[in-house]
Chains A and B, each alone.
Chain A
Amino acid sequence: MIEAVGLTKRYGAKTAVYNLSFQVRPGTVTGFLGPNGSGKSTTMRMILGLDAPSQGQVTIGGYPYRKLPNAPRQVGALLDAKAVHGGRHARNHLLCLAQLSGIPARRVDEVLGVVGLQDVARKRSKGFSLGMGQRLGIAAALLGDPQVLLFDEPVNGLDPEGILWVRNLMKSLAAEGRTVFVSSHLMSEMALTAEHLIVIGRGQLLADMSVTDFISANSADFARVRTPETEPQQREKLTAALTEAGGQVLPEQDGALRVMGLPLPRISDLAHGADVRLWELSPHQASLEEAYMRMTQGAVDYRSTVDQRAGLQQQLPPGAVPQPQPPVPGQGQPNWYAPPSPQQGGQPFAMPQGAPAAPPAPADANPYAAAPQAPAAAPSPAEHATDNTGTTDNKDAPR
C-alpha cells in the first residue's frame, strides 16, 4: 500500500507536484496517467525517497521509504531503463544491485530467466535495444521479490510479444496480492492492464477511480453519421438541420460527421424530416484514450500546432484552387475532445434501448475539463457548423 498525503514538490518557482493525495492498494494494477511533464516521474522519485517532498509525505506500508526496514526487499522499481552502465554485463549489473540489497547471487540468474535475458547475461548492456533495456530494468525491480512494485513506462520500446508479457506479468503480480503502480502513455495498454487509475495534470490530482468509472465519467459518447458521398449538399443540409436542433456537429477526416448532443432516434428523425438519406448512423462509445484526452486537454504543457509550412510549399499554378487538408484531431482544433454541450447535462445522446445512464462526473473531480464547458470558451455550435461546411465545400469543389 502506497499512501500520499498532501504531497508537494517545488523546484524554485516551479511547482512540479501540488497537494497530491492518493492511495495505491494491493491486489490490483494501478495505472498512473498524465501528460508529459505532469509530475509522474517526480512523484515516483518521491515515493522512493530519492527526492524529498517540499510538503506532505508519501509512505509505503506506513513508513517513509528512507525509514522502511529492508526497503529493497519490500519495494522494487523500474525508473529508467537506460540507467545502466553500458560497459557492464547485464549479469554484473544485476549482481551489484543484488549484493547491495543482500540478495543471493542465484536470484540474479532466476530473474534473468524470468525476463528472458539469460542468453545475453554476459553481454555488455550498451549493445542492448530499448526493449532489452526495459527487460533488464524489470529484472532489477523483481530482484527482491518485493510486495510493492513501481514501473515508470515499462512497455516503452517493447515489441508486441514483450508488451503482452509485461501486461500478464503486471496482472499476475497483482493477483498475488502485490501492489503494482504503473505509469504509461499507452492508453490502450492501460485499459487492458490497469483496474484502477490515478490521473494527474500539471502536478495535481485529476482523477482517482476505477477504469470503468473513469471512462463513463469522462467520455462523451457520440453518433457517427454518414450521408451519401456522391451528394455533398445532403451533408450540408443535414448539418444545418442537426445544428438547428441543438446538436454539435464536427466533420471527421473521412467525410463522416460526429454528432454530439442528440439521441440516435432524433438524428434519424431529423434526417428523415430534411429528406436526407443516411449511409451510416452508429453509436460510438469513447475509449480510455478519448476519456483521457478529454480530461487532460486543459492540463497539457506541450501542445502541437498546425504545421503552416510557410515558404516551404510549392507554388500552385495560377488559377488552381488550393486543396485544404481536413484537420488532424487535436491539432488546431481545441474542442475536438471537448465535453458535450452543457444543456444536455453531460449526456450527449441517450442510448436507444434505455441503457443505464453513465453516472455524471462529481463536480470537483475534474477541474480542468470543466474549463472548456464555460460558454465563453466553447464556440457555439452554429459557428462550428459554418466553419465545417466551409471546409467541406472547398474540399469537394475540385471533384
Chain B
Amino acid sequence: MAAAQVLKSEWTKIRSVSSTVWTLGLALVVTIALGLLISILSKNDYDSLSREDKITFDPTYISFAGMSLGQLAMIVFGVLVVSNEYSTGMIRTSLAAVPQRATFLFGKIAVATVLAFLVGLATSFLTFFIGQAMLGEYKAQIGDPGVLRAVIGGALYMTLIAMFSMGVAAMLRSPMLSLGILMPFFFLISSILGNVEATKKIGRFLPDQAGSKIMQVKSPFDDDTPYGPWGGLAIMVAWTAAALIGGYVLLKKRDA
C-alpha cells in the first residue's frame, strides 16, 4: 500500500523536473554519437591493424565506445534523483509523509532504476545497430554468439552505473560532493588505474571496469582477467549493492 503510493509519487517527481529529460537524453545522444564516430574511425583503420588485433577485433565492443562518456550523464541522473531531495529540503516533507525510510528510499530508487534501464536498453540497441552499420563489412550480427548478451549487458551496465550513483548520493547527500567524487573517478581515476601496469590488477575490480566486461564479445589478445562477462557484472552488482545499503543505513540512522 505504502509502497505503491511511494512509486506513484516518485514517478510524478521524476517526470516533473526537466533534469530527468536532460540527463537521460544526453546519455542516449552522447553514447550513440561517440559510438558512431569511433565505429567509422575503426573501419578506416582496420587495414593498419596488426594480425593479432585483427583476430580479436570486436565490432560490438567498438560500437559501445561512447559508453565511457555517456555513463557520465547517467551518473548525473542518478545523483540528481536522490540529492535533489536534500538540496531543496524536500526530504523533510517527504519523510514526514512516509516515516518508513526504507520504503521511501527504495521506492525512489526503483522508479529511477526502471527509467534508467529503459533508456539504457534503447541506447544500447540503437548504438549497436548504428555502430554496426558504420563498420560495414567488419560488422557483427545480433545473432552472433555473445552479441545479444553484450547489447543487453550494455543496458544493464548503464542502469547499474545510475544505481551506484544513487547509493553514493544517498550517502553523501550533497549533489556537488557526489558529482565531484563520481565524475573524476569514473572518467579519470578508474581508467588510469586500469592502464598502469602496477595498479591494473586492482583497477579491474572497480565497478566500471568489471562491469564493462559484459559488453565485450571477444577478449583482447593478452587478456588475463580472472572473471568472465557475467562475473564482471556480478562484481559491479556487488559494488552497487554496497553503495545502496550504505545509503540506506545512513538515511535510517541520520536526522533528516
* Interface flags, A67-106, vs B, CB<8A=1, else 0: 0100110010101101111111100110111111110000
For residue B44, CB closer than 8 A to chain A, the reply is no
Contact A66–B99 (Cβ < 8 Å): yes
Which residue of the partner chain, among B84, B88, B99, contacts A71 with CB atoms under 8 Å? B99
Known: A49-B96, A102-B5. A96 touches B16 (CB 8 A): yes
Contact A87–B12 (Cβ < 8 Å): no
Contact A68–B16 (Cβ < 8 Å): no
Nearest residue in B to A9 (C-beta to C-beta)? B255
* Interface flags, B5-16, vs A, CB<8A=1, else 0: 110111011001
Which residue of the partner chain, among A48, A52, A95, A100, contacts B5 with CB atoms under 8 Å? A100
Contact B89–A77 (Cβ < 8 Å): no
Interface size in chain B (residues, C-beta < 8 A): 27
For residue A18, CB closer than 8 A to chain B, the reply is no
Known: A83-B88, A83-B90, A85-B88. A99 touches B9 (CB 8 A): yes
Contact A97–B93 (Cβ < 8 Å): yes
- Shortest B109–chain A CB gap in Å is 15
Contacts of A49 in B (CB 8 A): 95-96, 99
Question: Which 9 A-B pairs give the minimum distances between C-beta atoms?
Answer: A83-B89, A99-B9, A92-B16, A100-B9, A51-B255, A96-B12, A50-B256, A66-B99, A100-B97
Contacts of A82 in B (CB 8 A): 88-89
* Interface flags, A255-271, vs B, CB<8A=1, else 0: 00000000000000000
Q: Which residues of B are at the interface with A, using a C-beta cutoff of 8 A? A: 1, 5-6, 8-10, 12-13, 16-19, 84, 88-90, 92-100, 255-256
Known: A100-B6, A100-B98, A101-B97. A92 touches B92 (CB 8 A): no
State the CA gap A99–B111 with chains docked (Å): 14
Contacts of A185 in B (CB 8 A): none
Q: List 9 A-B contacts (CB under 8 A).
A: A48-B92, A51-B256, A71-B96, A88-B13, A89-B16, A92-B13, A96-B13, A97-B93, A100-B6
Contact A45–B92 (Cβ < 8 Å): yes
Contact A88–B16 (Cβ < 8 Å): yes
Nearest residue in B to A89 (C-beta to C-beta)? B16
Contacts of B8 in A (CB 8 A): 99
Interface size class of A (residues with CB under 8 A): 20 to 34
For residue A140, CB closer than 8 A to chain B, the reply is yes
Nearest residue in A to B95 (C-beta to C-beta)? A50
Contacts of A79 in B (CB 8 A): 89, 92-93, 96
Contact A100–B94 (Cβ < 8 Å): yes
Contact A83–B97 (Cβ < 8 Å): no
Nearest residue in A to B5 (C-beta to C-beta)? A102
Contacts of A99 in B (CB 8 A): 5, 8-9, 12
Contact B255–A45 (Cβ < 8 Å): yes
Besides the known contacts A71-B97, A75-B96, A84-B90, 19 further A-B residue pairs in the complex with CB atoms under 8 A apart: A48-B92, A50-B256, A71-B99, A72-B96, A72-B97, A83-B88, A84-B88, A84-B89, A85-B17, A92-B12, A96-B10, A96-B13, A97-B94, A97-B97, A100-B94, A100-B97, A101-B5, A101-B97, A102-B5
